[in-house]
């Protein structure tokens, strides 16, 4: 299942075993359209199994961004280097590295704190004190950040969490494509869904999700499955897909087929520059009934059309 692991500066889809194949990328902090280098590079490398993106602070260079992108393998890194160089041109400098683990990954997670998205509070185990102020209608989702997998701190995850709160979940099933940490599947059942199925092709992500189910006491309501979008045969009234705009557009027919008639498609991971293409792909199957934006990111909900009944005889 395509994921958006690299869209966050602390995101990861695999455990980081030493040494780590990496790319160092430097260039203008924002392009002419206002998109940050981190988000631009993240979108470009998403198909090459990125493990994490570290934003390196270089004092005195306010208009230049420095990134280190980690990969699962050297071949993936090298293929990503070609993709970034082709798309960005000479304005962006790229070099390959093999980096020993100095503990930055663990340190990057230790500073994360609980966040609120509407009625949902997502909290790491070390900041549960924050959730004591939760109201009667709030739900608490406990996630142990495992270098990303969806800790709730990236705008795309927050938009997906907000989208889940725009539809009637009570008594309905939810299908979570690219489940990562399982944060969306867990939130769905805590918000009232009857059950959820979380699907991911990454075994490390599924391990993180399994821990999330235990932490939140929802293992009997959420089923995890390993597989790709092409392998998925489940359908549900509500499908949530926090992927990438390019993937959502290219896989529109496959994703739409997983939502039942009169169901909802909750989509996130969309750059604002991709939103028009995503809307054009999905609107023939049903109208966009909700749209929200945060920074350069957009979330959308499409209501799938019910099949037309037989035409009355003349």
Looking at residue 54, which CATH number applies to its domain?
Answer: 3.30.70.260
Total Cβ atoms within 10 A of residue 306: 11
Structure tokens at 76: 């993936």
- Say how far apart CA 148 and CA 34 lie, in whole Å: 25
pLDDT score, position 76: 87
Least confident of 46-55, 117-126, 178-187: 46-55
Q: Note whether residue 134 is domain-resident.
A: no
pLDDT interval class at 299 (50, 70, 90): very high
Do residues 168 and 283 share a domain? yes
Last residue of a domain, one of 84, 100, 116: 100
Cis omega (within 30 of 0) for bond into 19: yes
Do residues 184 and 260 share a domain? yes
| Rg of the chain taking only CA atoms, in angstroms | 20
Do residues 85 and 204 share a domain? no
Give per-residue pLDDT as tens, 253-284: 999 999 999 999 999 999 898 999 999 999 99
Q: Note whether residue 141 is domain-resident.
A: no
- Say how far apart CA 180 and CA 162 lie, in whole Å: 17
Backbone angles phi, psi at 109, to 5 degrees: -85, -25
Q: Give the domain range for residue 37.
A: 17-100
The whole-model pTM stands at 0.74
Q: Note whether residue 188 is domain-resident.
A: yes
Structure tokens at 144: 């142990």
Closest CA to 39 of 67, 79, 78: 67
pLDDT score, position 154: 81
Backbone angles phi, psi at 291, to 5 degrees: -150, 135
Mean pLDDT of 74-97: 92
Count: domains in the chain: 2
pLDDT score, position 14: 38
Q: In this model, does residue 30 exceed pLDDT 60?
A: yes
């Amino acid at each position: 299942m395509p994921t958006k692991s690299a869209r966050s500066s602390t995101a990861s889809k695999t455990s980081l075993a030493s040494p780590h194949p990496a790319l160092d990328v430097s260039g203008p902090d924002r392009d002419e359209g206002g998109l940050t280098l981190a988000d631009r590079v993240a979108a470009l490398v998403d198909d090459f199994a990125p493990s994490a993106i570290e934003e390196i602070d270089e004092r005195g260079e306010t208009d230049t961004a420095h990134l280190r992108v980690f990969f699962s393998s050297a071949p993936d890194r090298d293929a990503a280097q070609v993709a970034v160089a082709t798309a960005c041109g000479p304005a962006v400098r790229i070099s390959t590295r093999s980096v020993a683990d100095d503990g930055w990954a663990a340190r990057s997670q230790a500073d994360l704190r609980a966040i609120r998205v509407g009625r949902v509070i997502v909290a790491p185990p070390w900041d549960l004190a924050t959730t004591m102020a939760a109201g009667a209608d709030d739900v608490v989702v406990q996630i142990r950040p495992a270098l990303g997998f969806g800790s709730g701190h990236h705008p795309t995850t927050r938009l997906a969490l907000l989208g889940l709160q725009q539809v009637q979940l009570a008594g309905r099933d939810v299908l979570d494509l690219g489940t990562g940490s399982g944060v969306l599947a867990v939130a769905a059942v805590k918000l009232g869904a009857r059950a959820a199925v979380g699907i991911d092709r990454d075994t490390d992500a599924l391990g993180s999700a399994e821990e999330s189910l235990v932490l939140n006491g929802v293992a009997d309501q959420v089923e995890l499955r390993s597989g790709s979008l092409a392998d998925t045969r489940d359908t549900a009234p509500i499908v949530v897909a926090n992927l990438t705009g390019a993937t959502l557009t290219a896989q529109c027919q496959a994703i739409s087929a997983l939502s039942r008639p009169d169901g909802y498609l909750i989509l996130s991971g969309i750059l604002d520059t991709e939103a028009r293409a995503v809307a054009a792909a999905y609107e023939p199957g049903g109208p966009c009934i909700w749209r929200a934006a945060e920074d350069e990111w957009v979330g959308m909900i499409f209501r799938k059309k019910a099949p037309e009944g037989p035409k009355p005889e003349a």
